[in-house]
């Protein structure tokens, strides 16, 4: 009787949905700390909820080596199978993306995609490949480290170690069909549905042991960055960060040279804060940042000091060199740099900004007042009485009669006088030389 009652109660209880769950996270862009945080959170949630697998739909030109290492570490430590799917047609996984693709339990590519070119690039201060012996040695160390890293990933996932090392040392790049032949990927799938069909029943080795992926009738959950993460991802682009920094500098200097404008100051502060966040996510060379600040100082000095263009020339050189040095590419892959066209455009706009906008503001500040009591200083009037150091008198100025005193000169009635000061509506005058 008790057994029948227990069975009856079980039937009344809501049944847990036994349908498996598959998460799909889309990454379309550079690998940076924002992407790292997003994937870290999704891998963590996938493991906590024990989903069937996490699919990373991938299209990237590369990214930061430090961010890549963190993502690969999370993938290798995951108890849930992770699938990397290079999609759609025309997509690529280059440089940092190659490491992440190889680290997946199952790697797949769509037709018309490619993978490869994972060689790290070290740039010189002038933006060209460095030829000096000391930096050649450093470049070799960086390459050897990246090669060892990708070999360990390929060995862990039983992929072609030889090709993986070539991708780093020789920047080789291959199509999806070649990648399948070279044992770089496991599947070629025309779309996500095709991928799910081919994944069904596959066995993979995870951090906790062997698991079989069941995709039939699975619930698909699409995961995206939230609004804040999308914004931070956009401003983490080196070109955007660079432009935000310059807008911030423009806004603050314009506000300081034209007090009360308000809007330029607000925009400047917001832009500077966003730029600082971007710099936090990028490998910044502070020597380059210092040169940009020094260039701004030279531009301001040119407005106040007559140097016949020498300060402006020095500022332009300092600005361009500092901009080229701003992103330290020693620790990243080739995409992490500021576009030369952006640098040239911003340099021209910066020179024009200081010559016209700030220059006009400072000239206006130095201009002698032409209205109010201060505007009377230097004006010429006529004495209406005798005036001496001991005897104040009156003068006619602009058709008005003013009380006046002459601390130094003896002034006769009808003599021209010049205003040298004003105090409590009484003019201080001296003889006019005109």
The pLDDT value given to residue 150 = 94
Residues 6+ apart with CB under 8 A from 95: 61, 62, 63, 117, 118, 119, 120, 333, 334, 335
- Dist. CA 159–CA 345, nearest whole Å: 45
pLDDT single digits (tens) 49-74: 999 999 999 999 888 888 899 999 99
- Dist. CA 276–CA 181, nearest whole Å: 45
Whether 426 is a known active-site residue: answer no
Q: Is the model's pLDDT at 392 over the cut of 70?
A: yes
- Which of the two residues, 168 and 301, has the higher pLDDT score? 168
pLDDT single digits (tens) 226-262: 888 888 888 888 888 889 988 988 888 777 777 777 8
The pLDDT value given to residue 135 = 55
Nearest-CA neighbor of 40 among 56, 16, 19? 56
pLDDT single digits (tens) 107-119: 999 999 999 988 7
Q: Is the model's pLDDT at 354 over the cut of 50?
A: yes
The three-state DSSP-derived secondary structure of 361-383 is HHHHHHCCCCCCHHHHCCCEEEE
- In the structure, what pLDDT confidence band is assigned to residue 372 with cuts at 50, 70 and 90? low
- In the structure, what pLDDT confidence band is assigned to residue 130 with cuts at 50, 70 and 90? very low
- Which of the two residues, 223 and 1, has the higher pLDDT score? 223
DSSP string, 229-274: HHHHHHHTSHHHHHHHHHHHHHHHHHHHHSTT--HHHHHHHHHHHH
- In the structure, what pLDDT confidence band is assigned to residue 129 with cuts at 50, 70 and 90? very low
The pLDDT value given to residue 402 = 86
Q: Is the model's pLDDT at 422 over the cut of 80?
A: yes
- In the structure, what pLDDT confidence band is assigned to residue 18 with cuts at 50, 70 and 90? low
The 3-state DSSP class for residue 131 equals coil
> Identical fold at 15-227 and 373-431?
no
CATH of 373-431, one of 3.20.20.70, 3.40.228.10, 2.40.50.140, 3.40.50.10490: 2.40.50.140
- Dist. CA 231–CA 258, nearest whole Å: 31
Q: Average of pLDDT values for 420-424?
A: 81
- In the structure, what pLDDT confidence band is assigned to residue 167 with cuts at 50, 70 and 90? very high
Q: Is the model's pLDDT at 10 over the cut of 60?
A: no
> 0.85 exceeded by the pTM?
no
The pLDDT value given to residue 68 = 92
Q: Average of pLDDT values for 23-48?
A: 93
The 3-state DSSP class for residue 403 equals strand
* Marked catalytic residue, from 44, 132, 141, 203: 141
The pLDDT value given to residue 362 = 53
Q: Is the model's pLDDT at 184 over the cut of 50?
A: yes
CATH entry 3.40.50.720 includes domain 15-227: no
Q: Is the model's pLDDT at 132 over the cut of 60?
A: no
pLDDT single digits (tens) 263-287: 888 898 999 888 888 887 777 788 8
Q: Is the model's pLDDT at 218 over the cut of 90?
A: yes
Cβ–Cβ under 8 Å, residues 37 and 56: no
With the C-alpha atoms ordered 26, 29, 30, 34, is the resulting torsion angle positive or negative?
negative
- Which of the two residues, 349 and 153, has the higher pLDDT score? 153
Whether 141 is a known active-site residue: answer yes
Residue 13 φ then ψ, to 5°: -70, 145
In the numeric block, which tokens belong to residue 396?
């006619």
Q: Average of pLDDT values for 196-213?
A: 94
Domain locations in the chain?
15-227, 237-366, 373-431
The pLDDT value given to residue 73 = 96
- Dist. CA 199–CA 211, nearest whole Å: 12
Which of 47-51, 232-236, 300-304, 318-322 has the lowest average pLDDT? 300-304
Mean pLDDT of the chain: 83
* Marked catalytic residue, from 95, 107, 278, 332: 95
Burial of 354 (0-12, 13-18, 19+ CB in 10 A): buried
In the numeric block, which tokens belong to residue 291?
């040169």
Cβ–Cβ under 8 Å, residues 151 and 165: yes
The pLDDT value given to residue 352 = 80
């Amino acid at each position: 009787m008790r057994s029948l009652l227990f069975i009856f109660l079980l039937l009344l209880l809501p049944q847990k949905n036994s349908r498996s769950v598959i998460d799909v996270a889309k990454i379309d862009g550079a690998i940076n700390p924002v992407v790292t945080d997003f994937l870290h959170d999704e891998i963590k949630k996938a493991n906590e909820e024990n989903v069937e697998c996490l699919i990373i739909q991938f299209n990237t030109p590369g990214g930061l080596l430090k961010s890549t290492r963190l993502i690969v570490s999370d993938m290798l430590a995951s108890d849930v199978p992770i699938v990397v799917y290079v999609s759609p047609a025309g997509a690529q996984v280059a440089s940092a993306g190659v490491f992440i693709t190889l680290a997946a339990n199952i790697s797949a590519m769509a037709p018309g995609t490619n993978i490869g070119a994972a060689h790290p690039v070290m740039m010189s201060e002038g933006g060209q490949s460095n030829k000096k012996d000391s930096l050649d040695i450093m470049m070799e160390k960086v390459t050897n480290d990246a090669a060892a890293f990708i070999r360990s990933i390929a060995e862990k996932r039983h992929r072609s170690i030889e090709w993986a090392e070539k991708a780093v040392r020789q920047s080789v790049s291959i199509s999806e069909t070649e990648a399948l032949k070279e044992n770089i990927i496991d599947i070629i799938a025309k779309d996500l549905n095709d991928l799910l069909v081919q994944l069904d029943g596959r066995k993979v080795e995870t951090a906790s042991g062997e698991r079989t992926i069941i995709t039939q009738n699975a619930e698909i959950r699409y995961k995206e960055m939230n609004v804040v993460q999308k914004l931070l991802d956009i401003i983490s682009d080196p070109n955007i960060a660079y432009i935000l920094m310059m807008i911030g500098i423009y806004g603050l200097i314009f506000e300081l040279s034209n007090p009360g404008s308000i809007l330029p100051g607000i925009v400047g502060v917001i832009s500077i804060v966003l730029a600082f966040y971007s710099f936090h996510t990028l490998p910044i060379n502070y020597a380059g940042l210092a040169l940009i600040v020094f260039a701004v100082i030279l531009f301001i000095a040119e407005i106040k000091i007559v140097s016949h263009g020498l300060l402006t020339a020095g500022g332009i050189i300092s600005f361009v060199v500092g901009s080229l040095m701003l992103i330290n590419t020693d620790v990243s892959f080739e995409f992490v740099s500021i576009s030369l066209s952006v640098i040239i455009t911003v340099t021209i706009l910066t020179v024009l900004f200081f010559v016209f906008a700030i220059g006009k503001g400072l000239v206006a500040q130095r201009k002698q007042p032409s209205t109010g009591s201060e505007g009377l200083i230097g004006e010429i009037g006529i004495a209406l009485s005798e005036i001496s150091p001991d005897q104040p008198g009156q003068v006619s100025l602009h058709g008005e009669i003013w009380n006046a005193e002459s601390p130094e000169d003896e002034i006769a009635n009808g003599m021209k006088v010049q205003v040298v000061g004003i105090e409590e509506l009484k003019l201080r005058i001296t003889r006019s030389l005109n």
